[in-house]
Structure 1
Amino acid sequence: MTPDDIVTKKDLDQLKQELFDFLRPIVDAQGLQQQKWLRSKDVRKLLNISAGTLQNLRVNGMLGYRKAGSIFFYKAEDIDKMLADPEKKSPKRKL
């Protein structure tokens, strides 16, 4: 093994930066930007609602979610859509 064969941390950092610089325009051009996911506590704080109200939104199908283990995740765009649609803001109650 020669000294030229040794890869240093600095070499790896430089390679990582070069890969990011190369891939970023490709990803941005294809619209594959990372989606923003929010946890339950962030959604409750954002909407100023209780945990029970958030659960009702999930159960009634008014807000989509994904579950990983015991943690619920919500797409930021789904929250925006829910708020923009007045029909889905509150569940209709039976009289």
Structure 2
Amino acid sequence: MEVDFITKNDLENFRAALLNDIKGLMQNSQTFSRKEWLKAIEVRKLLGVSNGTLQSMRVKGTLRSSKIGGIHYYRYTDIENLMQQGYALK
């Protein structure tokens, strides 16, 4: 029966390699999973705003939406443009 010893250095190398692998997977999934249209809850999480704030932005015309079956959908590119233009979210 053969016995292998694991050192702290071995564990540290394993941890670093595992973290790099996870980071690579997350970057790839974010690149390919970006949807063209987002639901209101996804937009609220993305911008960090409340439901009322998002509704106010929609009513004022700051951020356009399309309503289908009672659900508002927002175009991802519109959100990017909003952020690039430097609109203050209140």
TM-score (norm 1): 0.55
Gaps of at least 5 residues in structure 2 are 1-34
Residue 90 of structure 1 deviates from its aligned partner by 4.2
Count of residues in Structure 1 that have an aligned counterpart in Structure 2: 56
Gaps of at least 5 residues in structure 1 are 1-34
The answer to whether the Cα contact below 8 Å between 1:63 and 1:78 also exists between their aligned partners in 2 is: yes
- Corresponding position of 1:54: 54
TM-score (norm 2): 0.58
SS in 1 for 2:63: coil
Q: Distance in 1 between matches of 2:56 and 2:36?
A: 22
- Corresponding position of 1:74: 74
Matches within 5 A, 1:1-95: 36-86=36-86, 88-90=87-89
Runs of 4+ in 1 over 6 A off after TM superposition: none
SS in 1 for 2:42: helix
Tell me the percent identity. Answer: 39
Letter of the 1:89 counterpart: A
Q: Distance in 2 between matches of 1:90 and 1:43?
A: 13
SS in 2 for 1:73: strand
Q: Which has the higher contact order (CA 8 A, sep 6+)?
A: 2
